[in-house]
Structure 1
Amino acid sequence: MPQPETTVERGIVEPGYTHFDELDSMGFVHNSRYMVLVERALTTFWARQGFAFTDGKYTQPDVFLAVAEFSISYRAPIRGTGEIGIHLWMDKLSDSSAVYGFRVLSADGGVVHAEGRRVHIRLDPKTLRPTAWSDAFNDVAKTLL
């Protein structure tokens, strides 16, 4: 899949694609699919950095996390299938949480279809209590700050 032609000052733009089964009866991407598009972009970014869920196992302990908040504002509908870009950055990184900002963009970056934020909390798999990110996670996360 080609990379979106979008340059950003902060964060990265992950390429995405909208599919026919994501459309509503008006031919717009259904509102619930935007969260999936953001989830896929985050998963792709972190998997490229070595943080993934493969063969039923986490490749890094930092992958065990929960979404504590997800908010989204819709700006302009995505009309039909095709390439898009997901602009991701990190607004805040604390000991056990990460606050992401995102924008769902047209492939050329000229249209902002939606924007919002998502908060992750790293959990200890045994206690299910918040726990600190690893140094490896912090190193990668700083590239999004």
Structure 2
Amino acid sequence: MPALVSRGRGRRSINEINMVPFIDVMLVLLIIFMVTAPLITTGVVELPSVGKSQQRPGSVIEIVIGTDERLRLRLIDGSQAAEPAAVTLAQLPARVRSTQAGNADMPVVISADRNVKYDSVVRVMDTLQKAGVKRVGLSVKQGS
């Protein structure tokens, strides 16, 4: 409540902020945070690292997106690779499922030219994920 001061002709209020209650509240909050800070347990997050896979998968389905944004699908089995076959985006989920032949854990890798729009790569990933393909990844080139 502002104090009233009488000077000469009338009474007017003094508009000042009383800092003592503010400082008291801040000190109480500081003490609470100092006491509770050591009690907070931090969670440990184990992030995967790139390039440290235990073993290479035996066979991989590769989807190649060319500079003309046409899709080609091929099966890489061990060291031999099949000839890439042209496929449309609408046919892609059915062709991947038939190539997997019941093995839902077979990884699918998307390889694209660096000049391909990112939108087309995301469209392929989205189509595969909506179709329920579990392991979809991107192929990266090591080095420059």
Instruction: Calculate the TM-score normalised by the size of structure 1.
Output: 0.23
Structure with the higher fraction of residues in helix conformation? 2
Higher relative contact order (CA 8 A, sep 6+): 1
Structure with the higher fraction of residues in strand conformation? 1
Report which of the two structures shows the higher radius of gyration computed on alpha carbons: 2
